[in-house]
């Protein structure tokens, strides 16, 4: 029973399309995140939600919009996809701010824009 599950695992799409990545956690955590791992393998935070409220929104283009229908879900919608959006996107969750217990990550969604 996967703790943090994200779908799809792979996504290949054309430039200009709109796509969504879904994330669900069954750990009862109250904070969820989206991270992007770029071609240089850096993991960078995009968004953070605590109890369905947006608390961190890094300098991400507004084509990216997170949606949290409830505490257990944080979906990522991307409009007008660009080649530079190709990356691996990781969803994660933590209890509170996750300092001592860490974050639990999903297995990633590899997005390829062609």
Is the CB of 5 or the CB of 79 nearer to another protein?
5
DSSP string, 37-101: E-TT--EEEEEEEETTEEEEE-S--TTEEEEEEETTEEEEEE-S--GGG-EEEEEEEESTT-TTT
Q: Is residue 51 close enough to count as binding another protein by CB under 8 A?
A: no
Q: Is residue 107 close enough to count as binding another protein by CB under 8 A?
A: yes
Q: Which of 18, 42, 63, 82 binds another protein (CB under 8 A)?
A: 42
Q: Is residue 46 close enough to count as binding another protein by CB under 8 A?
A: no
Shortest separation between residue 69's beta carbon and another protein, angstroms: 20
């Amino acid at each position: 029973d996967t703790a943090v599950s994200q779908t799809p695992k792979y996504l290949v799409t054309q430039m200009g399309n709109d796509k969504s990545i879904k994330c669900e956690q069954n750990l009862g955590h109250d904070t969820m995140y989206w991270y992007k791992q770029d071609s240089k393998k850096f993991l960078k935070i995009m968004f953070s939600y605590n109890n369905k409220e947006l608390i961190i929104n890094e300098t991400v283009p507004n084509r990216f919009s997170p949606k949290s229908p409830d505490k257990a879900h944080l979906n990522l919608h991307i409009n007008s996809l660009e080649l530079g959006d190709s990356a691996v996107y990781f969803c994660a969750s933590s209890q509170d701010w996750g300092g001592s217990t860490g974050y639990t990550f999903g297995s990633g969604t590899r997005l390829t824009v062609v």
